Amino acid sequence: MTQDELKLAVAQAAIAYVVEGEIVGVGTGSTANFFIDELAKIKHKIRGAVASSEATASRLRGHGIEVFDLNDVNAMPVYIDGADEITASGAMIKGGGAALTREKIVASVAKSFVCIADGSKLVNFLGKFPLPVEVIPMARESVIRALNVIGGDAKLRMKDGAALLTDNGNIIVDVHGLQIVDPVSLEAQINNIVGVVTVGLFAAQGATVCLLGTVDGVKTLQF
């Protein structure tokens, strides 16, 4: 099976976690896009969705799914999103699509987090995928220096010759070359650096379930 076929399989499996008559939190990225397309097939059964990025909101609206502002939502049964890496304990690296802050906010409101990923995303240690950190622009160099002290190689993420800007108007610094043994501790440490908005470690509040696409079918990991 191709990677896209694996992503489609987990997106289809995630529909079983959508609660009828409720609002669903929806993530950002290629796997989340497959889920949005599947969600559109049952849009008449849900109230709507909360989006973790402007791109996701646009795709949801394109399918005729109502998008709610998170400030108008008291609770959500489930948030469904992909991951760049995930461990057997449910800790994740997210932010390859630069939506980590909004993803973390929406996920924090949901009762459960269903991670949908192809089998290549399951790792023993986080860090082979560069760790994204959303940063206030004026703090770029001070944060990069602080991240380099922690370890790895912190680099500003670029797009089309300029610093990539998030939906929040901030920049992304990616930390390369890490092997993260204690993701909960590192998440707290990086979040405490002045100028950091949030780090793309989802460990203190990780996934509840992971639907993992493999050549042998979709495997369910409970955390």
Active-site positions? Answer: 103
The rounded distance, in Å, linking the Cα atoms of 117 and 66 is 25
Q: How far apart are CA 77 and CA 75, in angstroms?
A: 7
CA-wise closest residue to 129 among 200, 39, 191:
200
Which amino acid, one-letter code, is at 208?
T
Buried-state track 163-185, b at ≥16 Cβ within 10 A, e below 16: eeebbeebbbbbbeebebeebee
Q: Residue 152 — φ and ψ, nearest 5°?
A: 80, -170
